[in-house]
Amino acid sequence: MSKSDCYVRYAIEPRPIVDFTESFESEIDNFGFNLLGTPLKPEGVIAESDMLLSCGQWADYIIGGISPESIDDPNIFQAEMGWATYLGITYIMFAPFLKEGSFSTIKEIEKDEKKEKEKDTEKEKENEKKQRQTKSIRQKNFDYARMINSVLQSTTSSDFLLPFRISDESSWNKWNETRLMAESYSALYPALILDSGKVHTKFLDTWRGENVKALIIPSDLFESLPSTKEGSETEKSYQLPKGIVELIKYFMSKDVDIILRQCGGHTIHEDLHSQFQYLKAIELNLPKLSEWELAFKGCQDILQDPLQPLKDNLESSSYQVFEDDTIKYELYEQAVYKALVDFSKLRQKQNPKVKLEESPIVVMVVGSGRGGIVRRCILASHNSKVPIKLYAIEKNPSAVITLRNNKWEYDHEVIVIDTDMRVWNPPERCDIMVSELLGSFGDNELSPECLDGAQKILKEDGISIPCEYNSFLCPVSTPRLYNELNENKKKLKNFETPYVVKFGKYKYLSDVQKCFTFVHPLPKESIKQNNSHNNRSKSFHFVISKDALIHGFAAFFDTILYKDVKLSINPIDHTPQMASWFPIYFPIQKPILVKAGDYLNATMWRCTSNDLKRVFYEWTVTYPVILPIHNVNGRSSFIGL
């Protein structure tokens, strides 16, 4: 049987261990399960049977279920958690919170009470009773959340599931309250319960971006299909409503665990087995990922420090990653091709008697690495039939060795210059200056400073490729990344450092807005010795699109290489299958709860240190709350000049 491109584990619950009395692992595998959910009852059959499994099997195969009775009785809760610890269970599911009715906060209850006083006495008494019940239920839920938090603070080796009904509009608010009370503990995950009679796809956006660990599918959601053969005793067939299937597909693509919850009279040997086969068929029929998607699936939600190629010399493996992105290099080739054609026409118009072969167009690749862009310049020259004199300028001594030993296409001569582009005094100036210095935020690898310094090698009427780049920003909800930063001891530095990241579980919460713009070449008089011309500031006014918790800002860039040749990682017009750059994540120290339609005001600065040795970003939020300015004076993160 073929495999899907996703990593989905399957579980069945609730099942007592004694259902599997022979070879536990082989029986589990025969039914196609990876995990088994079982109740954590210190008394009864499980207590008498803990030696049925090895310690490793308890840890690797079992989801321990905390009983609903534990919500009302802390003694039961403590006993069941103690039993889980004794068994060494590392995957625990808490009982779901009690349903609180239509009230989501005490403030709303009190507001409703005030309105009810205007109604007749009989209705008033009835509503007062309901309100008291709601308050009582809410208090029980708060007490239960406290018990959960006490466990989280004392346990480091388990993952915990907290189940919520996906169709309950108050579920996300309850989840958000609980995780905030638990200080965004990274091992506490929401598990979503599908329930019948609902159109589930409209609730998907509420949970998009949350670090959902499991999807719980009650067995009674399945519809039994009539047998194709009259009187046949073959295994039953099942299906799920289309809306539920689409929801399952989404979560399977995010590698969540699928838990089939036994309901009614379904038996493990018949109905549940068929239902599992149906779910596995859904997984196997998911659209195959492209080579590009597969290559980066394992990179999602991994925080990386941005490269600093000006301060540090890159390794060969970094250049290899750049060079593997053929889309980017094809577009660079297109830009150089068009610039050569335009420049040759202009040259011939200005000096019709001078042949291009006698006076080729001078092209200089600044920061040429191992020569990826250099090769594309050669190809552009060959295809356009415009001869060029080609220089490759590189400060990395190891990359220079590669440049000097490369065998170039069409035996084209390349003049290799081993120096920093900012200090080189060329024997001649170039017509076209080509660079590949852009970072995920456009300017964050100091392209402005590098190209300002190198501008002296470009003729007055010369062309810079790229000629313009813009950065962009939008608020993002990404609890998984926030939790990772929050757990590290160096919290201030963590939240004041921008990270390159391929977002996996996230939500963009507003339209993407333009941040900073840089153009090249600049008029000479615009370039200041103290680099103040490259400082920037921008304030933003975002309109929030979804209820969420904001954890920072996602940042992107686009660039105009030449005329209509453009590269972009802006989600609005991302260059298809281009993989050289992931977005940047600017975290904030304290998450901000927002509702759809709320406003969020923020400010971003690009600054140069007084000693002219560092460039850094500062950022803050000024509405609906005021946060401290992050990374003041570049105290936690900077780019070295």
Known binding-site positions for ATP: 389
What CA–CA distance (Å, rounded) separates 15 from 36? 7
DSSP-derived letter for residue 300 is B
SS3 (DSSP) at 10: strand
Q: Which amino acid is at 14?
A: P
3-state helix, strand, coil in the chain (%, to 5): 35, 25, 40
Integer angstrom CA distances of residue 428 from 71, 314, 456: 80, 28, 10
Going from the C-alpha of 43 to that of each of 16, 76, 105, 515, 551, the distances in angstroms are 13, 11, 37, 62, 43
Residue reference for tokens 């008033």: 124
Q: Which amino acid is at 161?
A: L
Closest CA to 368 of 336, 307, 323: 323
Active site residues: 436, 445
CA dihedral 406, 407, 412, 414 (to 10 degrees): 10
Beta bridge partners of 606: 536, 617
107 vs 635: CA distance, rounded Å: 41
Q: Which of 283, 206, 297, 298 is nearest to 250 (CA)?
A: 283
Contact 229, 213 (CB under 8 A): no
Tell me the C-alpha distance between 462 and 430, whole Å.
7
